[in-house]
Amino acid sequence: MCAWLQFPLKIDASRKILHIDMDAFYAQIEIRDNPALQDEQVILARDPRKTGGTGVVATANYHARQVGVHSAMSAAEALEKAPEAVFVTPDFDKYRKVSEQVHGIFHQFTDKIEPIAFDEAYLDLSDYEESLVTIAHRLQQKIFDELALTSSVGISFNKFLAKLASEHNKPAGLTVIRIEDIRPFLDAQPIESIRGVGTKTAERMHELHIENGNDLYQLSQDTLIDEFGKQGFELYQRIRGIDDRPVQYERQRKSIGKEHTFNPPVRSEQETLDESRSIAKEVVQALKNKKMHGKTLVLKLRDEMFNTTTHRATFNDFIENDPNVIYNLAVDILEEIGGYTTPLRLVGLTVTGLTPISFENITLSLYES
Ligand SMILES: [Mg+2]
């Protein structure tokens, strides 16, 4: 028997972890932008009646989910289940943009963010003194006020429990799992909703008459390891509320960029320059907020055919965090590649190779001058 199996199990309840998941994200954005869809079954997929049946469901709203439509289902099957449904072709550019706005709001609360998907993240809020319920309400309210979108939040002291909690009460839910809630909460979970139990594992569990969390809890560590190996050991811990995985946030960002997408595309040089100027302002604001600067500027362009290109210029000295400086450098890069030549769906500016604006940098330049 391995040594690590003999450590006594201990629940670390010292952290404050929040899991947030936007409710039916893509569908919610489409309904927000087209309120006529409000009471309809909405399926995000190209309409199978127009494509000849190809295509896959990206997501669906709760009305459509109620009749059995789910993501990754073929659009044709979704149509069978929901013949009255409205099919909306997904606009991933738009969702990416909204996702950035959502993440921007997360950053107003903490930089200890582990993004899981476009619409989902863990936040480590251990540094907060006040109740996480208060903070979660504030976060959900802010997202709703600024973006008119609802989210569901789970709060606990580890990632496993926080995620289960956020799934517990959707949409617009807020669920807390405290240490005294672990047994009743986990015991009642169907085996499929316990993270780490995939389809294959679930099948084997059913053969072993393990239907819910309580059944799983009754099994010995040896039995679980014999049956499921390393995963069995993990499940033995999880079902006891133990999960020591840290929230893996980026300790230091290597680049800061902003981009604007356009639908319809921008169609003139002047418009492109105007947009670049406003993007430069945003980049500088973000750099100042993070107290960072860098030596490389990247210009990103996407044309009408969705071809995306990046062009960079690197300098010996740090680029000054001044909108005019960054704008002028961007214009230089644009001129170097032949200027404005084609309608653009996206213009972006990013400063990379970031370094904190530290005391040393400042004193060094003072001595140099
Ligand atoms: Mg979601």
Question: Residue 203 is part of a domain; what is its CATH number?
Answer: 1.10.150
pLDDT at 364: 41
Please say if 207 is a catalytic residue.
no
Residue 339 lies in a domain: yes
CA–CA dist 231, 195 (Å, integer)? 11
Q: Work out the average pLDDT over 135-149.
A: 97
Q: Residue 269: enclosing H or E segment and its boundaries? A: helix 269-290
197 contacts 191 by C-beta, under 8 angstroms: yes
Residue 250 lies in a domain: no
Identify the residue whose tokens are 């127009």.
Answer: 50
Check pLDDT > 60 for residue 129: yes
Q: Work out the average pLDDT over 261-286.
A: 96
Give the residue from 51, 72, 90 where a domain finishes.
90
Identify the residue whose tokens are 């099919």.
Answer: 87
Q: Work out the average pLDDT over 70-82.
A: 94
In this structure, are 272 and 350 located in the same domain?
Answer: yes
Check pLDDT > 90 for residue 117: no
For residue 172, how far is its CA from the centre of ligand 1 (angstroms)? 11
For residue 64, how far is its CA from the centre of ligand 1 (angstroms)? 15
124 is in an annotated binding site: no
pLDDT at 362: 43
Q: Residue 266: enclosing H or E segment and its boundaries? A: strand 255-266
In this structure, are 167 and 199 located in the same domain?
Answer: no
In this structure, are 195 and 110 located in the same domain?
Answer: no
pLDDT at 367: 39
119 is in an annotated binding site: yes
Q: Work out the average pLDDT over 313-334.
A: 93
Residue 102 lies in a domain: yes
In this structure, are 149 and 207 located in the same domain?
Answer: no
Residue 107 lies in a domain: yes
In this structure, are 202 and 169 located in the same domain?
Answer: no
> Where residue 76 sits, what CATH number does that domain have?
3.40.1170.60
For residue 24, how far is its CA from the centre of ligand 1 (angstroms)? 5
Q: What is the mean pLDDT of the chain?
A: 90
In this structure, are 277 and 295 located in the same domain?
Answer: yes
In this structure, are 302 and 340 located in the same domain?
Answer: yes
Higher pLDDT, 110 or 364: 110
> pLDDT band for position 1 (50/70/90)?
very low
> pLDDT band for position 108 (50/70/90)?
confident
pLDDT at 3: 44
> Where residue 146 sits, what CATH number does that domain have?
3.30.70.270
The string of pLDDT tens digits covering residues 329-348 is 999 999 999 999 999 999 99
Helix axes 199-207, 221-238, angle to 10 degrees: 130
For residue 336, how far is its CA from the centre of ligand 1 (angstroms)? 42
Domain count for the chain, please give it: 4
Residue 166 lies in a domain: yes
pLDDT at 314: 86
In this structure, are 170 and 222 located in the same domain?
Answer: no
Q: Which of 157-161, 167-171, 325-329 has the lowest mean pLDDT?
A: 167-171
In this structure, are 261 and 344 located in the same domain?
Answer: yes
Q: Work out the average pLDDT over 134-161.
A: 97
For residue 120, how far is its CA from the centre of ligand 1 (angstroms)? 6
Determine which one of 80, 100, 114, 120 is catalytic.
120
In this structure, are 97 and 38 located in the same domain?
Answer: no
Give the residue from 143, 160, 181 where a domain finishes.
181
The string of pLDDT tens digits covering residues 19-34 is 999 999 999 999 999 9
Give the residue from 161, 181, 201 where a domain finishes.
181
In this structure, are 333 and 349 located in the same domain?
Answer: yes
Q: Which residues surround ligand 1, an ion (CB under 5 A)?
A: 21-22, 25, 119
State the residue range of the domain holding 282.
Answer: 255-363
Tokens of 368: 């140099």
Taking CA atoms, 22 is separated from 43, 133, 257, 315, in Å, by: 17, 17, 24, 40
In this structure, are 259 and 350 located in the same domain?
Answer: yes
pTM: 0.67
pLDDT at 368: 37
pLDDT at 318: 87
